[in-house]
Structure 1
Amino acid sequence: MRMKNKLIALLLTTTIAAGMILTGCSGENKNNSGTGNTKEVSITNVSYDPTREFYAAYNELFQKHWQKEKGQSVKVTASHGGSGSQARSVIEGNEADVVTLALAHDITAIEDTGLIEKGWIDEFDKDSSPYTSTIVFLVRKGNEKGIHDWNDLVKKGVDVITPNPKTSGGACWNFLAAWAYEQQQDGNNEEETKEFMKKLYQNVLVLDSGARGATSTFVEKGQGDVLIAWENEAYLSIEEYPDDYEIVTPSVSILAQPSVAVVDSVAKKHGTEEVSKEYLQYLYSDEAQRLAGENYYRPSNEKILKEFADQFDLDMNLVTIDDFGGWDQAFKDYFDDGAVFDQIYSE
């Protein structure tokens, strides 16, 4: 019996070693993207916080698609965190084949290092934004504090939960949506808007590093009266706790456009260029667009978006990042070191 166990152990060791050689674990070209030359190809998707559930489902859908098209299995490893932090991790050596982040600026930061080729935003439709979202409020059932719009968030005694715009892409969208609301109220008076934002952040209990952490603080730890949240994140909370929370739609919000890109230098190194590009392109397929809607993202395909008209308020007053001069200008004005957010938060 012992001899039999030794033989089995030896066979298993040999099999594992052979598998490591075949997949090229220690070599630069660890995969083959394409054409059935290997039985399995592996890619890594570095994403932002609230996409966990969507990409868990999408990866299964894509695996079936790739197997059908190429006769090859594909393994997708996903990483999630605050969008800004995730972008920095890629810049610092996290070898993502693709990135699916909360805002274009985070991908541009990677592009600036040379890891992503210029022009990535035009590689896929809709500015490489296959789905969108917006910013809403999540409140506890009954809404005891009477929170209906942004001005209610600056009242005394209202505790707000929102993540940190220095690390979270969602938090940047939150900030800009609040700013746009107050600008419309005070006739674009910047000093009055700064004072409004200062009051808002004085009411913030916790600045988590990412959107999912902020949701956990509000939902699981029970802190705060209102969560400024991605629309999809708010819906997920209600799906899980239907009797505990409700969504409030503010009078002004923002069209949030998460962006996707192939990390060209890494995909080339890994030999995954073909599968990485198809992984992102397939997000625009009808099947993936409906899956996005089922996970409470707004499909970029207008026809499929209308199929979810009962789920989403399609008549919301939404500003866009273009109203702020684009992301480069928005970061310079609001989020870079010493810009408006630092000014009001330090005070």
Structure 2
Amino acid sequence: MTSKAMKKIVCGITLSLSLMGAANATELLNSSYDVSRELFVALNAPFEKQWDASHPNDKLTIKMSHAGSSRQALAILQGLRADVVTYNQVTDVQVLHDKGNLIPADWKNRLPNNSSPFYSTMAFLVRKGNPKQIHDWSDLTRKDVKLVFPNPKTSGNGRYTYLAAWGAANKANGGDNAKTEAFMTQFLKNVEVFDTGGRGATTTFAERGLGDVLISFESEVNNIRNQYGKDAYQVVVPKTDILAEFPVAWIDKNVEHNNSADAAKAYLHFLYTPAAQKIITDFYYRVNNPQLMAEQKERFPQTELFRVEETFGGWDNVMKTRFASGGELDKLLAAGRG
């Protein structure tokens, strides 16, 4: 065989191997909520490294999509082929079963803690020195206080804020719904800007300088303080607050189409590992790991958390009675304008 012929064979083998390597590359799309960017930047890199080490012929790349979680779920229902979702509200995952049959009805049972690898609660970010002396939910209805948080119609973040305020006020009022409705009417009237998502609310408060109080997830307000200057802001966690779960799921119909099921499942299981849980707490999310939480107790002030299921009868009831068109939120907003 001539050297020229041998060279052609070698080149052909090299090209074939190159094409095989390209064919074995795996790409995951994680559809996530609006303020999770920095968290998943920190989580994705070690998982990609771990996957590549155990799958030398399968290069993994994780891509992200961020927006309000309800908008993200709608995009998937409209055809976005995300492999996994990491949202901040159960209903935005459940709708993928209810309206798209993309995941099974029992999706919450496939991973620990109702498929919620971490959780949070709502907190207040106030400006240096806490000039308006904001300490609890009751301070947010004073007429001299302007609030910024996302619109509950488009954001899980905003819905948790609304429910946290209602639940805390109703407890303080001894269950008097009339007093709580009056509280919520003024609370909503004090909102200076309703952004569509949590990151937009952050921009409004921190960069545009609007509002006296930003209400967002505890994780988000702490990360804002770190990003924009610890001396410029103060974080306040109210005494009574809501448990905000962060559910995750692989999208069965999509991973089957994308041939990514193994990587998608491994990715979500990774979120429960000690290494990932440590990263998660570094971003001020709480985890169901007593030892790790004890080690970082300085990060997480004590607060009495209530659950949506116990206080409001579950998310299905909440969405129908409070956030649907013409529901409680719309009525209270109208009352505040009246």
Question: Does the alignment reach a TM-score above 0.5?
Answer: yes
Name the CA distance, whole Å, in 1 between partners of 2:316 and 2:275. 33
Name the CA distance, whole Å, in 1 between partners of 2:293 and 2:65. 27
1:84 and 2:70 matched: yes
Specify which of 150, 162, 165 is matched with residue 152 of structure 2.
165
Q: 8 Å contact 1:289–1:300 — kept in the other structure?
A: no
Per-residue CA deviation, residues 229-256 of structure 1 (Å, 9 max, x unaligned), is 1101111111121111001121211111
Q: Which amino acid aligns with 1:157?
A: D
How far residue 38 of structure 1 moved from its aligned partner, in angstroms, is 4.3
Q: Which amino acid aligns with 1:92?
A: Q
1:257 and 2:245 matched: yes
1:286 and 2:274 matched: yes
Q: Which amino acid aligns with 1:41?
A: T
Other-structure match for 1:180: 167
Tell me the SS of whatever aligns to 1:199.
helix
Other-structure match for 2:5: none
Other-structure match for 1:312: 300
Per-residue CA deviation, residues 195-227 of structure 1 (Å, 9 max, x unaligned), is 111100100000000011111100111000001
Specify which of 215, 225, 228 is matched with residue 202 of structure 2.
215
How far residue 63 of structure 1 moved from its aligned partner, in angstroms, is 0.4
Q: 8 Å contact 2:218–2:237 — kept in the other structure?
A: no
Q: 8 Å contact 2:308–2:314 — kept in the other structure?
A: yes
1:101 and 2:54 matched: no
Other-structure match for 1:68: 53
Other-structure match for 2:30: 45
Other-structure match for 2:3: none
How far residue 89 of structure 1 moved from its aligned partner, in angstroms, is 1.0
Name the CA distance, whole Å, in 1 between partners of 2:54 and 2:313. 41
Other-structure match for 2:263: 275
1:343 and 2:328 matched: no
Question: In terms of mean alpha carbon deviation, does 211-220 or 62-71 score higher?
Answer: 62-71
Name the CA distance, whole Å, in 1 between partners of 2:242 and 2:129. 26
Tell me the SS of whatever aligns to 1:207.
strand
Tell me the SS of whatever aligns to 1:344.
helix
Alignment of 1:1-80 (within 5 A): 38-71=23-56, 72-80=58-66
Question: In terms of mean alpha carbon deviation, does 299-308 or 266-275 score higher?
Answer: 299-308
Specify which of 209, 215, 221 is matched with residue 228 of structure 1.
215
Name the CA distance, whole Å, in 1 between partners of 2:101 and 2:249. 13
Tell me the SS of whatever aligns to 2:292.
helix
How far residue 334 of structure 1 moved from its aligned partner, in angstroms, is 1.4
Identity of aligned residues (%): 38
1:126 and 2:107 matched: no
Give the TM-score taking structure 1 as reference length: 0.88
Name the CA distance, whole Å, in 2 between partners of 1:212 and 1:283. 23
What is the aligned-residue RMSD (CA, Å)? Answer: 1.7
How far residue 56 of structure 1 moved from its aligned partner, in angstroms, is 0.7
1:322 and 2:309 matched: yes
Tell me the SS of whatever aligns to 2:35.
helix
Other-structure match for 2:187: 200
Q: In structure 2, list runs of 5 or more residues that go unmatched.
A: 1-14
Q: 8 Å contact 1:100–1:261 — kept in the other structure?
A: yes
Q: 8 Å contact 1:136–1:228 — kept in the other structure?
A: yes
Q: In structure 1, list runs of 5 or more residues that go unmatched.
A: 1-17, 24-35
Q: Which amino acid aligns with 2:322?
A: Y
Other-structure match for 1:298: 286
Give the TM-score taking structure 2 as reference length: 0.90
Per-residue CA deviation, residues 2-44 of structure 1 (Å, 9 max, x unaligned), is xxxxxxxxxxxxxxxx99x959xxxxxxxxxxxx894420010
How far residue 300 of structure 1 moved from its aligned partner, in angstroms, is 2.5
Q: 8 Å contact 1:63–1:74 — kept in the other structure?
A: yes
How far residue 133 of structure 1 moved from its aligned partner, in angstroms, is 0.7
Other-structure match for 1:29: none
Other-structure match for 1:27: none
